[in-house]
With several copies, the nearest count.
Chain A
Amino acid sequence: MNIHEYQAREIFARHGIPVPEAEIAATAEEARAAAERFGGPVVVKAQVHAGGRGKAGGVKLADTPAEAGDRAEAILGMEIKGIEVRQVLVAPAEDIASEAYVGIVLDRARRADTIMVSSEGGVDIEEVAATMPEAIRKVAVDPRYGLLAHQAALLGHHLYDDPGAARQASSIIAKLYEAYRASGATLAEINPMIVNPAGEVKAIDAKMNIDDNALFRLPEIAVLRDTEAENPAEVRAREAELSYIQLDGNVGCCVNGAGLAMATMDLVKYYGGEPANFLDIGGSSNPDKVVAALELITEDPKVDSILFNIFGGITRCDDVANGIVEATSRMELGVPITIRLTGTNEEEGVAILASRGFEAMVDMDRAVETAVGRAGGG
């Protein structure tokens, strides 16, 4: 789960990380008022679940309250990577002596949370890793011991020669790790972390990704989900316990299992088509899910052909067939449907479909090729 910068800032602040004050604004007038309260120059930053907002024009400086209002006006409503900006963060512009990067991420290969710091802050860390890897210092946290004091200390010393700044940075790193763990995060970043001319170290930007699987035990984090900032179809899919991601093609896919769903998309492409979505109905046998899945696909205006690819295991073919029958009796599909059905209760499923005039195939390749053809591609 993505959360917004302003939400991550609040979590950081709660864990004692020095985060300069800021206000969230949903209108130009709110942004102007916030800038007025702060006094001096401010930064206006788009709050969206997308990287690269700076390059997209989603971060602007403003010298006066009026200018802050204008900047907010320009940013609010703009689209960054297809997502509409609905809120901006207004924060006093900081005097910056130097910028650094601090990030914590789950390192799958090392099976450990890994803390990375770089004295090259304010830029993309992948870029730093590619161009000057020696600037980056990494430390893996042993999950059995947690972050040890000396690890935080040596990361601080890597960033700053000044003992005071190093000490502040070590403390921020330790608190960031606490925030990361307490929030079920798989990523937490401060980029940039700055030193101001007075020698104070502060977190200027804040980013966190949360492990969806941890949300059941973190209700205070779960409520941070901003469904308005997400694709509405994907939000509805999640509510129906479907795994759905909208794409640009015209072959709507409905598959049981994530790996098979990806392989189906790849096969659509292989046969010259373009998948309209990733959709995994999971291992359940609930016909309602099939209905919900068909609704999602048919509501996507790009879809010209629907492809079911079901390999029955826990999922039973007859349940899926019943779901298809029920959905098509309730709504007009409007586009051709191609069904591949094999595995558990295959015969029953095929019979149910046949009774309503649907043909079911056993071979995945043939079904995909057919669906692509029906979409006008291939």
Chain B
Amino acid sequence: MGIFIGDDTRLVVQGITGRDGSFHTRQMMEYGTRVVAGVTPGKGGRTFDGGVPVFDTVEEAVAERGANTSVIYVPARFAADAVFEAADAGIALIVCITEGVPVGDMLRVLPYVREKGARLIGPNCPGLIVPGRCKVGILPGQIVREGPVGIVSRSGTLTYEVIFQFTRAGIGQSACVGIGGDPLIGTDFVDCLAAFEADPETEAVAVIGEIGGTDEQVAAEYVSREMSKPVVGFIAGQTAPPGRRMGHAGAIISGSEGTAEEKIRAFESHGIGVARRPADLVGLIRDR
């Protein structure tokens, strides 16, 4: 099972001929993801690596190759256009890896995607992986392992770190989703928690949050109200100074809002076990 992607995924790669796009397309194909098409405007008619047809538009990739999922590796200035195009073409799941997308672009993209009935993951995210079955994005396939824990995170390498610790401890994952570090993202913690709750293969969930915004607080409330499965969490940025953007565009304490303390308190008050160190997540999951 897993969530959002799986055996039915038919992937189109937007920006397949670019440096990042071509590299990760090969990685995804190696992992077993069905890459059915690529899109690079002006390069329609070519073939990528001798097997994947390249089109000028996503519309053609959907019409001719039945693509239902898209992953976006185009430069930031074209990322919003790429999401609009994928949603308009009827793509159901759009994963935007691109970092540096203007927040004003996302303001317009988010309602559009919703109106088209599509799901956007990202931008500025590592994508997602269902161990042993399908990977869309840039998460390293070698660190995951099949198993019962769902992982959702706003971060990239910190997610790898957590996955790595679980895998080393012999605990596999049902799916790992990086939702992205930007202030406005398509899929939030609650969306992923709901999917994990519904996924029969997931037995517990680890939520990796960080400073900035209130998504963790909303998630905590959701967990206590709607979830039957145990949830554990970690919040990065306890030592972050207020008012500074900690790398991620979304990781900033604004005034008194978005501190790690506030998020940890929200987790604890809603019954989510909070790890002081990433390594403690393993023990917390074992205890549940």
Contact = CB atoms under 8 A, between A and B. Distances in A.
Do chains A and B make direct contact within the complex (CB under 8 angstroms)?
yes
Interface of A: 51, 106, 108-109, 111-113, 126, 142-145, 148-151, 153-154, 157, 163, 166-167, 181, 184, 186, 211-214, 216-217, 243, 245, 247, 255-263, 265-270, 275, 278, 280, 283, 311-315, 342-344, 364-365
A267 B278 CA distance: 9
B156 A153 contact: no
Given A111-B110, A166-B56, A212-B249, A364 B161 contact: yes
B154 interface: yes
A257 B158 contact: yes
Contact of A262 (B20, B211, B213): B211
Contacts of A283: 99, 156
Nearest to A81: B243
A24 to B, nearest CB: 24
Interface string B70-104: 00000011100110110010000000000111111
Given A312-B140, A313-B140, A313-B160, 13 more contacts: A106-B184, A148-B85, A150-B82, A153-B85, A186-B103, A186-B183, A257-B157, A259-B156, A259-B181, A259-B248, A260-B157, A268-B239, A313-B157
Contacts of B278: 263, 267, 364
Please name the 3 residue pairs, one residue from A and one from B, whose CB atoms are nearest each other, closest first. Answer: A259-B155, A258-B247, A257-B157
A145 B107 CA distance: 11
Contacts of A314: 20, 138
Contacts of A278: 240, 244, 246-247
A167 B251 contact: no
Contact of A213 (B58, B76, B153): B76
A117 B82 CA distance: 22
Contacts of B112: 145
Nearest to A261: B247
B157 A275 contact: no
Interface of B: 20, 41-44, 56-59, 76-78, 81-82, 84-85, 88, 99-104, 107-108, 110-112, 126, 138-140, 143, 153-161, 164, 181, 183-184, 208, 210-215, 218, 234, 236-241, 243-251, 255-256, 260, 276-279
A262 B102 contact: no
A259 B99 CA distance: 14
Given A111-B107, A213-B100, A313-B126, A263 B246 contact: no
A270 B107 contact: no
Contact of A181 (B20, B104, B155, B208): B104
A303 to B, nearest CB: 16
Nearest to B42: A163
Contacts of B241: 245, 247
A262 B138 contact: no
A186 B77 CA distance: 18
12 contacts: A106-B183, A113-B107, A144-B108, A150-B85, A157-B44, A186-B103, A213-B76, A245-B241, A259-B159, A265-B237, A313-B139, A365-B277
A216 B244 CA distance: 21
A157 B56 contact: yes
A5 B239 CA distance: 30
B17 to A, nearest CB: 13
Given A213-B100, A214-B103, A313 B156 contact: yes
B140 A280 contact: no
B42 A167 contact: yes
B248 A258 contact: yes
Contacts of B276: 270
Contact of B161 (A51, A144, A275, A311): A311
Nearest to B45: A161
A365 B168 CA distance: 14
B26 to A, nearest CB: 13
A245 B237 CA distance: 13
Contacts of B56: 153-154, 157, 163, 166
Contact of B158 (A109, A126, A263): A263
Contacts of A270: 276-277
A364 B162 CA distance: 11
B67 to A, nearest CB: 15
Contacts of B277: 266-267, 270, 365
A311 B239 contact: no
Contacts of A247: 239, 241
B88 A151 contact: yes
Nearest to A278: B246
Given A148-B81, A151-B88, A126 B157 contact: no
A262 B104 contact: no
A56 to B, nearest CB: 15
A222 B277 CA distance: 39
Contacts of A184: 102, 104
